[in-house]
Structure 1
Amino acid sequence: MSSSEMPRYPLIINGERCEPSSGEYRDVINPATGETVGQVAMGNEADVDQAVACAKTAFADKAWRRMPPAERSKILYACASVIMENAQELALLEITCSGGTLNRIAGMDIPAVADLFMNLAEEVKEYPFVTNLPTRPLPEQVHSQVWKEPIGVCGLITAWNFPLLLLAMKVAPALAAGNTIVLKPAEITPTSSVRLVELLQSVLPKGVLNIVVGSGSKVGEALSLHKDVDKISFTGSTAIGKHVQQNCAVTMKRCTLELGGKGPGIVLPDAQLENVAYGALWGVYMNAGQACESGTRLLVHEDIYDALLDKLVEVSSRMIVGNPIDPATGMGPMSTESHFHSVMDYIQSARDEGARVACGGERADVEGCEGGFFVQPTVLADVTNDMKVAREEIFGPVLSVIKYRSLDEAIAMANDNDYGLSAGVWTTDLVLAQEIARDLRAGSVWINDWHMMRTDAPFGGYKQSGYGREFGKYSIDSYVETKAVSTSFEREPAKKRLHHIVHTTLGQA
């Protein structure tokens, strides 16, 4: 494809396609082939200033900020319609920029993105934007309400692994609450996000939703430090999340963070091994392991350790690693060449520390995708909880299988990590599973499966996996300020009991 035919993805500011102030564009690379599939505008601080100013102007419009929930619901439903009407185009863009498989994006991501907007379209009608408190007679009769109001201009920073889904997880609740937005998607997987923002301009007022692609060091930094940005929502690594949090503190921005994970799954001796093998590998091979909530540590009781390991290897051998656009493909590539090498380094570190590669552990060769960044489905045996692969987020198709003797030991190992995003239990004893779930320090606990995320259930982390919740009505909570409004009914000063504390002569002749 010649440069003149190459699709170009500009910034979207105030409802219009805009060239970046620097004039700079960057190639977008298909990680399955290594080929360039488009060029995206690279914004900078000046572009952020322009987008924030437009978002601030849009927020000042009372017609948007104070729109009744029933009307806002219609807009959210309209957003869902736009997504479904353009599903094929969006899915293809997502596949070619991120390496996500056709099966996953068409079968999970696009429906979930539309469902998220529709779910919030219903939730917004019942959300307690105004709550009346009961009248209290003492110290006098006062009518009090609690109002939930939009925060203002929201800077939304998304990661590269699930571009459209992460966009929706932030944009939908921000719109539901009545905020305006400047979105910064990851610059390596931006095409589907830019196109969706462009499509949504047809149902949103100008300036409500803007997108500025660029590096974290320029655009992300400018957003998180900007005096006119009132809230930041960030999804990404824990290390960058800490930096974003520090930046937000400069102007006391509201901040929510969805960060890394190291999901432990505890397999009890009575678990059904077939179910565990398929479910646990779904938990770590989905999106080639490039998901923060992946189940990357499998804690297995010693009585079934060898039998389950054999089953994991058997199921892994049937995984089809291939071109993401092929419906037969179950697992695609790593997002970039550098990330591919990072995953391979983790596998080597496991070998160096005494773990055994039960299967995989090498580069995967895919016919027709010789320039891609594929890693074989990998199961590591004889891992201990102090190894690097058990402590750090690999973000690849690598499962660490760890042996335990007692349930208390397994729970302690599961919690012995800086992260707390996801955890799981595999057992036929569902009562016991619920008890174990109470002891696991994670924002989501899944029993006898993995990735059981739904758009009406809260999603977020404990510990260094971040704070704040996404999905459903719980996500709206992160995009509102709380205001108490009280009205006094007593008109005679002498009858106001508290006034007498200061006005000691009140009521005296």
Structure 2
Amino acid sequence: MNAEAKISVTPTFRAEYGHFIDGAWIGSDGSKVIGLSNPATGQHLANIQAGTPADVGRAVAAAKRAFPAWSRTSFEERQRILLEIAQRLRARSGEFAVMESLNNGKTVHEATIHDLPEAIGQFEYFAGSVWSLKGETHNHADLLGLVHREPLGVVAQIIPWNVPLLMASMKIAPALAAGNTIVLKPSEIVCLTVLEFVAEIADLLPPGVLNVITGYGQDVGEALVTHPDIRKVAFTGSTSTGRKIIEYAARNIIPQTLELGGKSANIICRSADLDAAATTAAIAMVFNKGEVCMAGSRLFVERAVRDAFLEKFVAAVEQIRVGDPLNEKTGLGSLSSRMQYDKVRSYFDVAREEGATILSGGDIATDTGLQSGFFVKPTILTDVHNRMRVAQEEIFGPVTSVITWDSEEELLSQVNDSLYGLAGAVWSEDLRQAHRISRAMQTGIVWINTYYNLPRGMPLGGYKQSGFGRELTWDLLREYTIQKSVIIPLSYSGLPPQ
């Protein structure tokens, strides 16, 4: 490892974090804690609360009390607070990037160039968007119709462990902008950066506006989503958990926005710039260790350029350095947990059993200094057909299945033969072809000759079992508000005819 490239920031975590309820840090009703560690080294970092339904009840009650006043705050006040939150994040961005790396195993480079700028951007974007929360007027000869857009109330937000600080920002910013109060449940595996972030901004919000409950899903998640005072749930995570969220939300008939799994198709056509496509495909595979729902994990390569592309792709992947996430030259850090490590490794065996060829990787990384962490080599699978498990199931690791195609019709039938439809890409210098393929893909996001390029304001969301609703865009404010119609007759002439 290059010691000179190692990051110098050394943040300090608290020994133990409480729940954040009604503006204060408190212990759990059950007095149990969960230990969180650095997945790259096994070092213990801090304890969090193992929450209970009673803790959830206190948090929801606090958010309910805070809602009337917060919902009436002016756009100017909400904008000021959101911009100050962005500034607080920016001022400590280096420290937060290292915290994210320590608890998640991602490289500090990715956290610095992606997670923190995007988290900051969420608060800046929705700070400006508050001014577009407008009502409507409907003018008729004999009456005036007013349509108000009002905040929903207390919203439940549940986020995963792969990009926790960014996910928290994606949920918190629009909910606050729209005038709601929040009970947030982060992952019990990775959440220390979220808790440190809440501590940083606690003085900016009235007590009860933002509350955070930590703990296991079976103890906290169900109690939160089924609470009768929750008016909406926003969830990002696995499709299997998403099904449970829908069932819980149905008990009180509340709306949901769900961003779930993916098995994205990255399509290489014969006219593509193969050098750019190969380099980007390598990044699309290992970015955030492949623990990304939008990862380009199904690589469809046109037969005419298969061999030439694979030569470049393998070369690009084998240049990626697996190692210490705090080393700025590391390209692939540690998987986030033992559970994820075991899951990814199990798919190496699945690939062999199904008849796929492991062209590169397919093993753990055992270089000096990596033995205590959850490191795997970036893995390329060839001789894959689209119905194999490795091509259908979300592995959520740095593993890509290469599938060969001959005709666009054959290609699209396979691309769309998936439970998921979150993201994908088309690499082609033929503009007509790129449009034809992208329009036919049952996919929420399609990139042309790029990947992971999502400018602020573009909708993020999927087709099919990748969920419903859209994030990162102004349209999300519609999901956090409800319409009310008010009709004012201009003269009284009795009831309208029946």
The normalised TM-score by structure 1 is 0.93
CA shift for structure 1 position 256: 1.1
Aligned with 1:114 (options 117, 120, 129): 120
**Which residues of 2 match residues 182-331 of structure 1 at below 5 A?**
182-331=183-332
What CA distance in whole angstroms lies between the structure 1 residues aligned with 2:413 and 2:143?
51
What CA distance in whole angstroms lies between the structure 2 residues aligned with 1:309 and 1:470?
34
What CA distance in whole angstroms lies between the structure 2 residues aligned with 1:410 and 1:468?
27
Q: Is the 8 A contact 2:106 2:335 kept in 1?
A: no
Q: Is the 8 A contact 2:462 2:468 kept in 1?
A: yes
Output one character per residue of 1:348-383: Cα deviation in whole Å (capped at 9) or x when no partner: 111111111110000012432321001101111111
Q: Is the 8 A contact 2:298 2:391 kept in 1?
A: yes
CA shift for structure 1 position 251: 0.5
Aligned residues: 486
- Give the aligned residue type for 2:136: T
Q: Is the 8 A contact 1:422 1:461 kept in 2?
A: yes
What CA distance in whole angstroms lies between the structure 1 residues aligned with 2:224 and 2:332?
34
Q: Is the 8 A contact 1:31 1:372 kept in 2?
A: yes
Secondary structure at 1:486 match in 2: strand
CA shift for structure 1 position 492: 3.8
Query: Equivalent residue for 1:177?
Result: 178
**Aligned-residue CA RMSD in angstroms?**
1.3
Query: Equivalent residue for 2:4?
Result: none
What CA distance in whole angstroms lies between the structure 2 residues aligned with 1:294 and 1:148?
36
Pair 1:13-2:13 in alignment: no
**Which residues of 2 match residues 37-186 of structure 1 at below 5 A?**
37-61=45-69, 64-128=70-134, 130-133=135-138, 135-137=139-141, 141-186=142-187
What CA distance in whole angstroms lies between the structure 1 residues aligned with 2:202 and 2:14?
23
Query: Equivalent residue for 1:32?
Result: 40
What CA distance in whole angstroms lies between the structure 2 residues aligned with 1:181 and 1:423?
32
CA shift for structure 1 position 7: 2.0
Q: Is the 8 A contact 2:133 2:149 kept in 1?
A: no
Secondary structure at 2:230 match in 1: coil
What CA distance in whole angstroms lies between the structure 2 residues aligned with 1:149 and 1:126?
13
What CA distance in whole angstroms lies between the structure 1 residues aligned with 2:89 and 2:402?
40
CA shift for structure 1 position 86: 2.3
Query: Equivalent residue for 1:339?
Result: 340
CA shift for structure 1 position 16: 0.6
User: Which entry has the higher C-alpha Rg, 1 or 2?
Assistant: 1
Secondary structure at 2:424 match in 1: strand
Query: Equivalent residue for 2:372?
Result: 371
What CA distance in whole angstroms lies between the structure 2 residues aligned with 1:438 and 1:485?
40
Query: Equivalent residue for 2:8?
Result: none
What CA distance in whole angstroms lies between the structure 2 residues aligned with 1:12 and 1:349?
43
Note closer, same or farther for the CA distance 1:6–1:469 as it changes in structure 2 (3 Å cut).
closer
- Give the aligned residue type for 1:292: C
Output one character per residue of 1:121-140: Cα deviation in whole Å (capped at 9) or x when no partner: 11111233x1223x123xxx
Pair 1:440-2:441 in alignment: yes
Q: Is the 8 A contact 1:116 1:472 kept in 2?
A: no
Q: Which segment drifts farther, 170-179 or 452-461?
A: 452-461
Identity of aligned pairs, percent?
Answer: 38
- Give the aligned residue type for 1:262: K
Secondary structure at 1:446 match in 2: strand
Q: Is the 8 A contact 1:127 1:473 kept in 2?
A: no
Q: Which segment drifts farther, 435-444 or 172-181?
A: 435-444
What CA distance in whole angstroms lies between the structure 2 residues aligned with 1:309 and 1:414?
19
- Give the aligned residue type for 2:194: S
Secondary structure at 1:472 match in 2: coil
Query: Equivalent residue for 1:506?
Result: none
The normalised TM-score by structure 2 is 0.95
Secondary structure at 2:64 match in 1: helix
> Structure 1: where are the runs of 5+ without partners?
502-509
Q: Is the 8 A contact 1:323 1:366 kept in 2?
A: no
Query: Equivalent residue for 2:31?
Result: 23
Secondary structure at 1:304 match in 2: helix
- Give the aligned residue type for 2:117: P
CA shift for structure 1 position 6: 6.4
Output one character per residue of 1:203-248: Cα deviation in whole Å (capped at 9) or x when no partner: 1111000000000001111111111111111111000100110110
